[in-house]
Copies of this chain bind each other. A is one copy, B any other.
């Protein structure tokens, strides 16, 4: 720490991230992930990986399997499993599903009840915790797997998109 006078404010309950800003951040990440999907050649999207890990299509399907049903659970307090994404077998279909989910999130985000982010719940009937934590888990899981996709792209000799472009 520098030797400067710092305001002695200690409001740790203050808002760091509002609901509106969280939506924007999530969609920014989803835009970047869409660009990563686009970078993969069709065949490699569904078959290539490093060190026996899952191909990027499977990682993207996992993200889709969390995004819309996760938001539904946050809004309605009822959790369903989600299986739609599993049958996707082409890049075109994956991108179409991605865009459909993007629109769905934008249209439904404002239905999150006030105070909901601080509620305790059990996501998908399995993972107990605060709603804000679950919501961030969906985002963090996407960043984590997308980071793996960057390595796949590099291993394929393909330049990934800039991480800071959203």
A residues in contact (CB < 8 Å) with B: 1-2, 4, 6-23, 25, 29, 50-53, 72, 75-76, 78, 80, 104, 108-115, 117-118, 127, 130, 132-133, 135-137, 140-141, 143-148, 150-152, 154-155, 163-164
Contacts and interface: CB of A to CB of B under 8 A. Distances in A.
Contacts of A22: 16-17
Given A148-B150, A163-B144, A108 B19 contact: no
Contacts of A151: 50-51, 53, 148, 151-152
Given A14-B18, A50-B51, A50-B154, 12 more contacts: A1-B75, A7-B113, A11-B19, A12-B18, A12-B110, A13-B19, A14-B114, A14-B117, A16-B132, A17-B136, A51-B151, A151-B152
A40 B15 CA distance: 37
Nearest to A141: B163
A23 to B, nearest CB: 7
B114 A9 contact: yes
13 contacts: A1-B72, A7-B113, A11-B114, A13-B19, A14-B19, A14-B114, A14-B117, A16-B18, A17-B22, A50-B151, A51-B155, A144-B163, A148-B148
A74 to B, nearest CB: 11
